[in-house]
Structure 1
Amino acid sequence: MPVNTMHGGNIYQFARRIGCLPEQVLDFSANINPQQAVDWVSLRTVNLTPYADPDYSQLKQAFKQRYPYPANADCEVFNGASAAIFALLRFLRPRQLLLYAPLYSEYVRMGRQLGCQLSFINRFDEDLDAVIPRGSTVVFVNPATPDGQLYDLHPLLLRWQQADCTIVIDESFLDFCLSESAMESISQYDKLYVIKSLSKFYGCAGIRIGFVIAAVSAVNALKQYEPSWKLSSLDMAYMQQALVNTDFIAQTHQQTAILRQLLHQALCDSGLFEHVYPSAANFLLARLPGNCDGHALQSALESERILIRVCDNFIGLDQRHVRFAVKDQHTIEQLAYALAHV
C-alpha cells in the first residue's frame, strides 16, 4: 500500500488554490495551541552572532525541570518530533516493527524505507491484547492520533516488556492531558524510548524542537549519529522561556477543555457526522455517514477559507474520517456557522 505523506497545516498550498493570503485561512488541520507561551519582544536580546551551544545545556536543563525523568535516563534534542522519529528508527533499525494504528504516517514511511517487517494492530477494531511478536519494536502514540484517545499504558508496557520488545512511546500531545508520562518506566526498562514534541502545546509550530528520552547508554549511542548545532539560538531561547511559563501551562489545560467541548458541540449540532470520537487532546476526529466524502466536505468549506484534515491516509481510516483542531472561540463559531450551511 503506498503511503500518502499529506500532512495537516499546509496553509500555503491551500491559500494559493483558493486565492487568499495564508493568514486568512481558518486552519483546523494543524493541532497547534491557538495561544503562544512567549512574547516575541522578549527575544530581541538573543545574541545570534556566536554559534549556539552544541550541547544544548540550558535547554536540556529547562526541559528536565519541566519533565523530570529518572536518574538512569537522558534526553537528546532534535529539530522537531518528525526528525526525532526518523533519527530514532534509523538508529534502532528494527527487523520487526509493530505499529498500533491509526498513527502518524512518518512511522510507516520510515519503517518501509528501512526494510522493516511491518505489522499493525488496529486500535479501533482489534483487541489490544493481540499477540505481540517477541523481540519486535513497538510504536504506540499516547494520546493517540488522529482520535485523541488517552490510554492507560501500564498493562501494555508490562506485556511488551514480557515479550522483550523495544518500545517507542510518542507523547507529542500528552501535555494537553493531565496524565503522567511513560518516562518514569525507563527506570525499570532500558529498552523504552519516549518522544516529546514541544511545538504543539506551546503554540509555536515554526519552532522545531523535539526530544527523545531514553536510558543514558541508549542516548549516548544515539548521539553518535547526530550532527552538532541542530537548533538555532533563537529556537532554544524561545523554548527555554516557554518551558518555565507555568501560568501558560495551567491556562492551556483549562482553556483546551472548554474549547474542545465547544468544538464537540459544534460538530454534533451540524448534523453532518454519525460519530464524534471522545478526545483528551486538542483535536477531535469525526466520521461522516455512509458514502460521504471528507474531501467533498473540504470543498464545501473552501468558500469560508476553512481548512480541515481528511484522514484517509491513516492506516485503518477512510475518506469519511475528518479531524478538527481545537481553535479559539471565535474561530470555532465561524466553523459552526459554515457547517450549518453546508
Structure 2
Amino acid sequence: MPGVVQSLLWQILKLSMNHGGNIYRFARRLGCLPEQVLDFSANINPEQPVDLSCLQGVQLTPYADPDYGQLKQAINQRYPVPAGVDLELFNGASAAIFALLRGLQPKDLVLYTPLYGEYAHIAGELGCKVHNIDRFGQIMADIPQHSTVIFVNPSTPDGRLYELRDLLAKWQAADCTIIIDESFLDFSQADSVAEYTAHYAKLYLIKSLSKFYGCAGIRIGFILAVTAAIKELQRFEPAWKLSSLDMAYMRQALANTAFIERTRRQTAHLRDLLHHALQNSGLFDKIYPGQANFLLARLADGGSGYQLQEQLEPSRILIRVCDNFEGLDESHVRFAVKDELAIARLAHSFKNINK
C-alpha cells in the first residue's frame, strides 16, 4: 500500500508540473497560499518596468481600438519593423503559435528539440506529421522539402543562444516555411532575425512580451512577417483580442527603455548566482550554459526531478521537471532566474536534501 500511495503522489506531482507556473494547484496540495510559493518553475522576470498605478486613467466604457494602433506604434519603436513587414497581436504567444499553425496547416512539421511541448501538442491537434531533430547532436540534419520548421532562440529549456545564419540558408534552400520563436531573446544582447523577414516571405517571427517584462498576467504576444502573410493571418482573427488594460500597461512598459539594459545586467548577475547555487549543491552532474532567464540542470546518478520536488516542498519551492520535453527525462530540471533572496532560499533548501 505505501508503494501505491507513493506512486499516486508522484502522478499528482507530474500533473501539477506539466507546465511551469501552476502555483495554484501546488499551493492547494501544500495547504498554503499561492503567494507563499517560491516559484522557480516559470521563466518570468522578477522585476516589472512600471507600476499598476499607470492603469488608473484607463477608460473602460468605450471599446478598445480593434487595430491596436497605439500599442503597435509602441512595439515598432521597441522592435523596429523592416519595410514591407507588419505584425499581428495575440492574447499571448501560445495563442499566436496556435493561430499561425492553424492558418498554415503544415503537412510536415520539423521541431528542433528539446522544445516547449505546446508546439507538439498543437501539431497533434492539427494532424501534422512531426519530424523531431535533436539540436544537441544533429542540428544540421536533413529536413523534408517544403516543410515547416520551428526553432526557439534562445532555446528552452536549456537557454542556448544560436547563430542562425547557416540554418536559415539551409531552410530557405529547402523552400521551408520558417517559424522562429524569440520569446526569450530580450534577455540577451543578440540580434533578432527580424531583418530577414523582409527578404523571405515564408519567415515568421514570434515574440512574447510577458517573460521579459515580468507580466505573465498580461497576455500579449505578436507575430512578425511580410505584410501579405500578416493580412492572410488576420483573415481568421477576431476583433478586440486584447483588453484596454492589457494594452495600456504594455505601452507604458515598452516606453521604459532604461529597463532593457538594467534587466539584462541583472539577469546575467542573478543567473551566475543561480549557477553557483546549483553547482555548490552537489546534486547535479551537468548545468547547461544558457543565455536566457533560466538554467537547465541534470541530476547526478539518474536522480528524479519529482523526488527533488518532493524534497523541496517543505520550503514551498516549485521547480520544473523537464521529462515532457522531447529528448529529456525526469533527471532534467529547470530553474528560473529569481531575485537574490529567492536564490539564497533555494541554496539553503538544497542543504537539507539527502544526497
How far 1:167 moved relative to its partner?
0.1
Taking structure 1 as the reference length, the TM-score comes to 0.98
What SS does structure 2 have at the residue aligned with 1:274? strand
CA offsets 1:88-140 (integer angstroms, 9 cap, x no match): 0000000000000011111101111111111010112x321111211000000
CA offsets 1:29-70 (integer angstroms, 9 cap, x no match): 000000011111121011111100000000001001100121
Match for 1:37: what amino acid? Answer: P
How far apart are the structure 2 equivalents of 1:185 and 1:6? 34
How far apart are the structure 1 equivalents of 2:52 and 2:260? 18
Aligned partner of 1:106 in structure 2 is 118
CA offsets 1:246-279 (integer angstroms, 9 cap, x no match): 1111110110000000000000000000000000
CA offsets 1:273-306 (integer angstroms, 9 cap, x no match): 0000000000000001223100000000000000
How far apart are the structure 2 equivalents of 1:4 and 1:250? 34
Are 2:180 and 1:160 aligned? no
Q: 178, 181, 194: which is aligned to 1:183?
A: 194
CA offsets 1:200-223 (integer angstroms, 9 cap, x no match): 000000000000000100000000
Aligned partner of 2:275 in structure 1 is 264
Match for 2:125: what amino acid? Answer: Q
How far apart are the structure 2 equivalents of 1:207 and 1:238? 8
Are 2:229 and 1:223 aligned? no
Match for 1:277: what amino acid? Answer: Y
Aligned partner of 2:27 in structure 1 is 15
How far apart are the structure 2 equivalents of 1:241 and 1:154? 34
How far apart are the structure 2 equivalents of 1:187 and 1:42? 35
1:77–1:210 CA contact under 8 A, matched in 2: yes
1:140–1:170 CA contact under 8 A, matched in 2: yes
Range moving further from structure 2, 265-274 or 286-295: 286-295
CA offsets 1:141-185 (integer angstroms, 9 cap, x no match): 000000000000111001000000000000010010101111110
1:71–1:187 CA contact under 8 A, matched in 2: yes
How far apart are the structure 2 equivalents of 1:339 and 1:211? 39
Aligned partner of 2:132 in structure 1 is 120
How far apart are the structure 2 equivalents of 1:146 and 1:203? 18
Residues 1-342 of structure 1 mapped to structure 2, 5 A cutoff: 6-124=18-136, 126-342=137-353
How far apart are the structure 2 equivalents of 1:325 and 1:291? 22
How far 1:4 moved relative to its partner?
11
Match for 1:113: what amino acid? Answer: E
What SS does structure 2 have at the residue aligned with 1:139? strand
What SS does structure 1 have at the residue aligned with 2:284? coil
How far apart are the structure 1 equivalents of 2:218 and 2:259? 17
What SS does structure 2 have at the residue aligned with 1:239? helix
Over the matched positions of the two proteins, sequence identity in percent amounts to: 64
1:169–1:195 CA contact under 8 A, matched in 2: yes
2:98–2:122 CA contact under 8 A, matched in 1: yes
Match for 1:26: what amino acid? Answer: L
2:54–2:252 CA contact under 8 A, matched in 1: no
Structure 1 unaligned residues grouped into runs of 5+: none
Taking structure 2 as the reference length, the TM-score comes to 0.94
How far apart are the structure 2 equivalents of 1:191 and 1:264? 38
How far apart are the structure 1 equivalents of 2:134 and 2:76? 34
How far apart are the structure 1 equivalents of 2:351 and 2:79? 42
1:147–1:279 CA contact under 8 A, matched in 2: yes
How far apart are the structure 1 equivalents of 2:220 and 2:298? 32
- Ranges of 4+ aligned residues in structure 1 off by more than 3 Å: none
- RMSD between aligned alpha carbons? 1.2
How far apart are the structure 1 equivalents of 2:280 and 2:58? 48
How far apart are the structure 1 equivalents of 2:95 and 2:190? 25
Range moving further from structure 2, 109-118 or 26-35: 109-118
How far apart are the structure 1 equivalents of 2:45 and 2:297? 20
